[in-house]
Amino acid sequence: MKCVKCGKPSTVHVQNLDTCGSCFQKIIEKRVRKEVRTAGLIEKNDKILVIDDGSASGKVSGYLLKKIIKGMPVQIEIKQKEFEPGMEIKGDYNKVVVPWNADLEDEYFLSCVMQNREAEFLGHYTTSSKTYVKLLLPVLSSEAEQLAKIRNFSYTEKKDKSPIREVMDKLEEEYPEAKFSLLKSSREFSR
């Protein structure tokens, strides 16, 4: 198979899309740039903490943030730390980039709907004086893992899948783009 963008031999097959590694990186970076731009997530003189939980999303978040804000006057610090939604991060940062992707957002949204509880941490959210940025919101976990492999990042895979994640994966197999449709619904729900 050939890359759908440049015609070189394809090395990546994600979401029914055959691309070479270089074009795949550009596609992911473009999606993340659009998310940052449309949501106004990063500004000059921000103090940003990137949480790296050892997952592919954590590694890729740090890499993409540095690539996207190249030349912008911001301070970035990367810390190895586990993260859960609603967790308060201490420190003199006004933005916290969390290792969160579209799959985790969909799972969180569905669990809130099924348990009939308020989804207060949907999308990018603010608590007290910090904005929590989900940089990889437009990226699936499989895409983050693929990008981590292309960039030769070492990461730990989470072996245990929740029942909700298993259902989402089955839906995605049968109906491509189902995860992105659910993500769009969660964004409409949170407005």
Domain contains 30:
no
C-alpha 93: how far from chain center: 20
Q: Evaluate whether residue 83 is within a structural domain.
A: yes
Q: Which domain holds residue 66?
A: 36-190
Where does the pLDDT of residue 152 fall: very low under 50, low under 70, confident under 90, or very high at 90 and above? very high
In a domain, 9, yes or no: no
Give me the pLDDT at residue 155, please.
Answer: 92
Phi, psi of 16, rounded to the nearest 5 degrees? 55, 30
The runs of H, that is alpha helices, within the chain are 21-39, 56-68, 102-114, 141-150, 163-174, 178-190
61 in a structural domain: yes
Euclidean distance between CA atoms 135 and 159, whole angstroms: 23
How high is the pLDDT of residue 191?
62
Q: Residue 20 contacts by C-beta under 8 Å, 6 or more apart in sequence?
A: 3, 5, 6, 8, 9, 10, 11, 12
CATH number of the CATH domain containing 172: 3.40.50.620
Percent over 70 (pLDDT), the chain:
98
Does residue 157 fall inside a structural domain? yes
Exposure string of 38-56, with b = 16+ CB inside 10 Å and e = fewer, is: eeebbeeebebbbbbbbbb
Tens digit of pLDDT for each residue in 159-175?
A: 778 899 999 999 988 99
The pTM is what?
0.90
How many domains are there within the chain? 1
Residue 72's pLDDT is what?
Answer: 92
- The answer to whether position 24 is within a domain reads no
Are 122 and 109 in contact by the 8 Å Cβ rule? The answer is yes
> How do residues 14-58 score in pLDDT, each as one tens digit?
777 889 999 999 999 999 999 999 999 999 999 999 999 999 999
Q: Does residue 5 lie within any of the structural domains?
A: no
Bridge partner residues of 17 (DSSP):
14
Amino acid 30: pLDDT: 96
Domain presence at residue 81: yes
Predicted confidence band of residue 70 (pLDDT cuts 50, 70, 90): confident
Is the pLDDT reported for residue 149 higher than 80?
yes
